[in-house]
Amino acid sequence: MDAPALVLASASPRRRALLEQIGVPHVVLPVAVDETPRPGEAPEVLVLRLALAKARAGASQAPGRVALGADTVVVLDGRPLGKPAGREEAVAMLCALGGRTHAVMSAVALTDGEREATRLSVSHVRFRPVGREEAEAYWATGEPRDKAGGYAIQGLGAVFVEHLEGSYSGVMGLPLHETAELLRAFGIPVWRKRA
């Protein structure tokens, strides 16, 4: 059996599940890139740059295949919130997000080593107020540890969400509309079952 043409340059189980949801066979090839924002870098530039860096890293390890990289950032007051470094940062993030609307920017990038293309999805999420005690209890579940903004909309963190405008899958970490567009452009069909 031939190996899938697509390499997912990510260890994220959410991104893998989303690709499986739309029937895209793939192999997982986690990559490591420096995710440090550059001085003065706008959040949308950051997330697009990181998605492309991940795709390039994946393509360099899997010649002859198309590599998909993705990145997600939560933005509050123009400031990107990455993954919390620890309990205090996670609690502070959740309390700051509480009662407010924030943006979630998810970028997806594809490259075959020659062609490159990117797409950006921007969604707006409104949280109900979140108190410190509840934020600490959520941290104790373990769910927010590796999530941008310190929450998972597809998990327990869904209880905080009052309103979502945009892409649910984008908030999860892989905007499927934009991803499907790119896959088609690179000749990779969606809605296929694994053999």
Catalytic residues: 71
For 39, 52, 118, the CA distances from 153, given in Å and listed in that order, are 29, 24, 24
- Look up residue 177 and give its two tokens: 């509309």
- The burial class, CB within 10 Å (0-12 / 13-18 / 19+), for 38 is exposed
User: Residue 124: enclosing H or E segment and its boundaries?
Assistant: strand 116-127
Closest residue by Cα to residue 18 from 189, 125, 194, 173: 173
| One-letter amino acid for residue 184 of the chain | R
| One-letter amino acid for residue 19 of the chain | L
Look at strands 66-76 and 101-111 and give their pairing. antiparallel
